[in-house]
Structure 1
């Protein structure tokens, strides 16, 4: 005999069945057993979340009605409409404010942002154009310098070679003057001797005068050749 089914059907505790032996002797049909009582519904939600948190997780409005004064503010309702749209049951007109609010906003923007959107876009376009023109000009300058790079290298090498030649010529001229001074005395003279220094200085002055005269002669020849070319 099924004692559990018997106690459920008769609403009599198990401990009291000994006082009702006549009832316990008769087993009730299975159709009289209450299925709702035997298999009670058990909640299967193990998340432990509150209903408003579940709604947020399911992307629906957290509350169906206001639960706090914050839920009645424009800021909250605007954010609610911005997130859930028409499902929020919020009038979208609240997102645009009243005429007074828009007027105050326009006054504030006229002070903080006096330029219109078109003016800002035009200023941005001009600024970009100026930057692009500056970049293009710099690139053109770099390209021109690159084209002259080989010529600059040749000029630099020529200057270096000329300085080397001038230095070698100066050393050779110095040695020649020293040799001339020694031949003047007819014997080997110490370079630290005062007579040697005086004679060397005199020879250097004469040599400089000759060089200057030679340069002047070359310059006169060039001018004469230029005049002849112009007259012909």
Structure 2
């Protein structure tokens, strides 16, 4: 490019820029009227912006709870109108909950109901309850001492009981042995009756064995009867002797 043409190009560019930033509107000589902003619309826009900022997709209650605020600004159900719920909100969020602190004090009806409940649930005075507890403690101690005494007495009798148990076991063993010996004697008598060797499972052998057992039981019964009669006679004679001696 010819160097003599450069000043002309720069001058032309400067003029074009000045024309681009200039305006053809008439000059403002008077101050424009004041603009009033609607506060409700601004708050609504701010709330809408805040709502759009919430990308967690949590419900309103959960979102407020996480950020340390009251779950619901307005009641959503009947439970939110109860005194218990409002006391809970005030206890957790304080004055930020918007709850009147006077709700935290019990009413006259609540106090009366509490007094009636305590009168039924706790009818005794502290002194009476202490006396009852002391009596239960004494009774429990007496029961323990009584149990210990019974165990001591039974422990002293343990040797006697062991001997009695051993005697009963020996008696039972002797009875079993006697029954076994009696059975063997009956079997031997049946064998001698036939005079030849016969299988004990044979029907004739079983019939004869049953017959012998029946006869044996009859003889034992008769022997026991005679023993009782002899015992009674002896007792009667003893009584007669005692009467004559007197």
* TM-score (normalised: structure 1): 0.50
TM-score of the aligned structures, taking structure 2 as reference length: 0.47
